[in-house]
Structure 1
Amino acid sequence: MTIDAQTPDEYIRKVPEDRREVVSKLRETVKANLPKGFQECISYKMIGYVVPHSLYPGGYHCDPALPLPFMNIASQKNFIALYHSGIYANPELHDWFVKEYPKYVTTKLDMGKSCIRFRNGNNIPFGLIAQLCQKMTPQDWVALYEQNIKRS
């Protein structure tokens, strides 16, 4: 499912009604807990949180005109997705999240490299997502990105 929106508020308005409240709560959880410096925007047709060019002028190596992506929230066809680049790039953060997840919900973790999929909006561990958001500053993400992902 692709939602064509110009702003995060418009994205929320276009999310199917049965998911709107959950996606809004996920967005508010992220916004309330991300360290200062990340910027909310529409990124790759999702609600995105990026390191703006004012903090990282080099931008994203795939397209330097774009700010450095960090997190995204999306309403996909069969699930709500939270994409977190730090989980992909930092094995310790990934392992922490995987270990903590069962303490919050009884359903099995459905996760790809950077994508956490929630098929049931009642099983989103908002408290754990809040903690995850607090674990990496924009400066931490830039350092990790340059060390592990960016190719010269």
Structure 2
Amino acid sequence: MTMTTSNPLGSRTARDLVLLLARVGLGIIMIGHAALMHGLGGSLSGIGEMWAATAVPLPTLSGPAVVLFEYVGGAAMILGLGVPIVGVLMALTMVGAWVFVHTSPLFSMDANGPELVISLALLSLVLAALGSGRFGLDHLITGRRGHRVVAGA
């Protein structure tokens, strides 16, 4: 016996709204973190100098690159543009943050704990797997391409 329930928004619409909220939230966090790092470093080269005090490889290159990616990737995530690729790259960035920066043990209750970067990495992977939903630019791009294929078939 199957049971059906009525969803006034429709399950697809609810899914797309949740994806939108998750994308916007993640994008805001990434842009906010980039702005914080940029402010602390004073400039992109200053970020590299700041990162030189850490164990991050090639700090003068990787520091500015990560901050630029967090700005651009955060904006792309909010817009729903390139979400599968941006999501994987964000997850890899967060793994790097875990390995090189947030090195305290789990639940150590200090500012260096890895819980946030682990959560952001996992959210990034979920979005990479599920995509932007209908309320993102990816849907508009792939939706149009998909209609051409169907129309030509």
Does the TM-score normalized on the shorter chain lie above 0.5? Answer: no
With a CA cutoff of 8 Å and minimum separation of 6, indicate the structure with the bigger relative contact order. 2
Task: Give the TM-score category using the shorter length.
Answer: under 0.3
Tell me the TM-score normalised to structure 2 length: 0.28
Larger gyration radius, structure 1 or structure 2: 2
More helix by share: 2
The structure whose residues are more often strand, as a share, is: 1
